[in-house]
Structure 1
Amino acid sequence: MSVTNLGGRAPGRLAAVLPPVGVALAAGAVFAFVGAVDPNEPGHYPTCPFLWLTEQAFGTGLYCPGCGTLRTIHALAHLDVVAALGLNPLAVAVLPFLAFWWGRWTVRAWRGRPRRVTLAHPGYVYAFLVVVLVYWVVRNLPFGAFLAP
C-alpha cells in the first residue's frame, strides 16, 4: 500500500505533504551535518572531482559552479552570511528560490492540488542554466577571481 493510494481512498492532507516534509527533513539533516562537520578541515569531505581532474590534467585546478558550496552551507549554519557570499555567491542567491519552490510545493500538496510536472517556466530554467555557465567561466578567469572560493 503506497502513501498516495491508501487502499483506494483519496490521500489525506498529511499523506500529501509527506514528500515535501521529507525533503525538508533531508535538507535540514544535510545542513546540520555540514554545520557540525567543518569542510574547512582536510579529510572530512572528498575534493571536487572537476577541480581534481583539471588539476591532474592542467596542473592547475578549475572551479566548478558548485565549488565552495559545502563551506558556504557551513558558514550559513554559523550565521556568517558575508563568508558564505565570499565562498559561493551563486549558491547563496539560489537558496531563496529553492525555499520559494519548496513552499509552493508544500502549499499545493496541502491544498490537494496536483503536482506540477515542471519546476518553473522553461525560459527561467534556460536563463538559470546560462547564469550558471557564465558564472562557471567567469570564476575561472583572472578578472573573476573574486568569485573563486
Structure 2
Amino acid sequence: MSSLHDSPLAPIAIGTGAICSCMAIAAADPTTPGGVIPVCPTKALLGINCPGCGAMRMIQCLTQFRFADAVRYNALAVLFTVLLLWAWLAWLLKTLGKTMPNWTGWKWSPHVVGVLTAVWFVVRLLPFEPFAQLRV
C-alpha cells in the first residue's frame, strides 16, 4: 500500500496551492501601501529589513515575468524559489518513477541555506553602498 506522499497527487496538490497563493499575492498587489498584504512585522516593529522583506513583491514580479525587478526586491528569495521548484520537480518525478538529483538530500544543504539567510540579513542592513541599495 502506498502513501499519499508517494502518489503524484501530493506534489500536484502542493504545486496547485503554491500557484494559487502566488496568484493571490499578485492580485493583492503588495506594492500598494496600505493594501491587503500587511507590512512585514520585523520592519513594522524594528524598522529593519528581515531576510524575507520584499518577498511578496518578488512573487508578484515573478508572476508578471519581471525577473530583474524580482531580483531587486529580494535576490535570495528568487534563489530559494528556484531551489524550491527544483525540489518540487524532483518530488513529482519520484512519484512518477523517475529520478533526478535533489539538493534537499545533500549533506550541507541546511547549513548553506542558514548561512546564506544570515549573510543576506546582515548585508541588507549595512548602511553604505552598494549594500544600501538592497533595502526595500
TM bracket, shorter-chain basis: 0.7 to 0.9
Q: 1:122: Cα distance to partner?
A: 3.6
Q: Give, in whole Å, the separation in 1 of the partners of 2:3 and 2:41.
A: 43
Aligned equivalent of 1:40, options 31, 51, 76? 31
**Partner SS state of residue 142, structure 1:** coil
Alignment map for 1:7-46 (pairs within 5 Å): 10-11=1-2, 16-41=7-32, 42-46=34-38
Q: 2:119 corresponds to which residue?
A: 134
For the aligned residues, what is the CA RMSD?
A: 2.4
Tell me the TM-score normalised to structure 2 length.
Answer: 0.85
2:132 counterpart residue number: 145
Residue 97 of structure 1: CA displacement? Answer: 1.2
Q: Percent identical across equivalent pairs?
A: 29
> Can you give the 5+ residue segments of structure 2 that lack an aligned partner in the other structure?
none
Does structure 2 retain, via aligned residues, the 8 Å contact 1:16–1:112? no
C-alpha displacement of 1:53: 1.5
Task: Tell me the distance in 2 between the aligned counterparts of 1:67 and 1:83.
Answer: 14
Residue ranges of structure 1 left out of the alignment (5+ in a row): 1-9, 55-60
Aligned to 1:73: 59
Q: Distance in 1 between matches of 2:11 and 2:113?
A: 23
Q: CA deviation at 1:11?
A: 3.9
Task: Letter of the 2:135 partner, please give it.
Answer: A
- Structure 2 distance, partners of 1:27, 1:63, is 24
The amino acid of 2:8's aligned partner reads V
Question: For residue 110 of structure 2, what is the aligned residue in structure 1?
Answer: 125
How many equivalent residue pairs?
A: 130
1:57 is matched with which residue? Answer: none
Q: State the Cα deviation string for residues 34-57 of structure 1 (Å, max 9, x = none).
A: 122201112311111111121xxx
Task: Please list every run of at least 4 consecutive aligned residues from structure 1 whose deviation after the TM superposition is greater than 2 angstroms.
Answer: 10-13, 118-122
How many Å separate the matches in 2 of 1:38 and 1:108? 35
Over alpha carbons, which structure has the higher Rg?
1
Deviation at 1:112, TM superposition (A): 8.7
Q: Relative to 1, partners in 2 of residues 1:145 and 1:110: Cα closer, same or farther, differing over 3 Å?
A: same
**Which residue of the other structure, out of 75, 78, 81, is the alignment partner of 1:92?**
78
Work out whether residues 51 and 121 of structure 2, in 8 Å CA contact, stay in contact via their aligned partners in 1.
yes
Contact 2:29 2:35 in 1 (8 A): no
